[in-house]
Amino acid sequence: QKEVEQNSGPLSVPEGAIASLNCTYSDRGSQSFFWYRQYSGKSPELIMSIYSNGDKEDGRFTAQLNKASQYVSLLIRDSQPSDSATYLCAVRTNAGKSTFGDGTTLTVKP
Amino acid sequence: EADIYQTPRYLVIGTGKKITLECSQTMGHDKMYWYQQDPGMELHLIHYSYGVNSTEKGDLSSESTVSRIRTEHFPLTLESARPSHTSQYLCASSPSGAGEQYFGPGTRLTVT
pLDDT, residue B2, reads 65
Q: Do A43 and B106 touch (CB under 8 A)?
A: yes
For residue B81, pLDDT beyond 80: yes
From B42's Cα to the closest Cα of chain A, the distance in A is 5
Mean pLDDT of B39-45: 92
- At B2-16, the pLDDT tens digits run 699 999 999 999 999
Mean pLDDT of B96-108: 92
pLDDT, residue B1, reads 62
Mean pLDDT of B76-89: 95
Interface probe, candidates A30, A32, A35, A43, chain B, greatest B C-beta count within 10 A = A43
pLDDT, residue B62, reads 78
* A-contacting residues in B 68-107 (Cβ below 8 Å): 90, 94, 98-106
Give chain B's mean pLDDT: 94
B chain contacts of residue A92, beta-carbon cutoff 8 Å: 99
CA angle centred on B37, ends B31 and B43, rounded to 5°: 55
- At A10-51, the pLDDT tens digits run 999 999 999 999 999 999 989 999 999 999 999 999 999 999
For residue A96, pLDDT beyond 70: yes
Q: Do A43 and B103 touch (CB under 8 A)?
A: yes
For residue A8, pLDDT beyond 80: no
For residue A85, pLDDT beyond 80: yes
The contacts of residue A33 (CB under 8 Å, 6+ apart) are A23, A25, A49, A50, A51, A63, A65, A72, A89, A90, A91, A92
pLDDT, residue B60, reads 79
Q: Considering only residues A71 and B96, tell me which one the structure prediction assigns the higher pLDDT.
A: A71
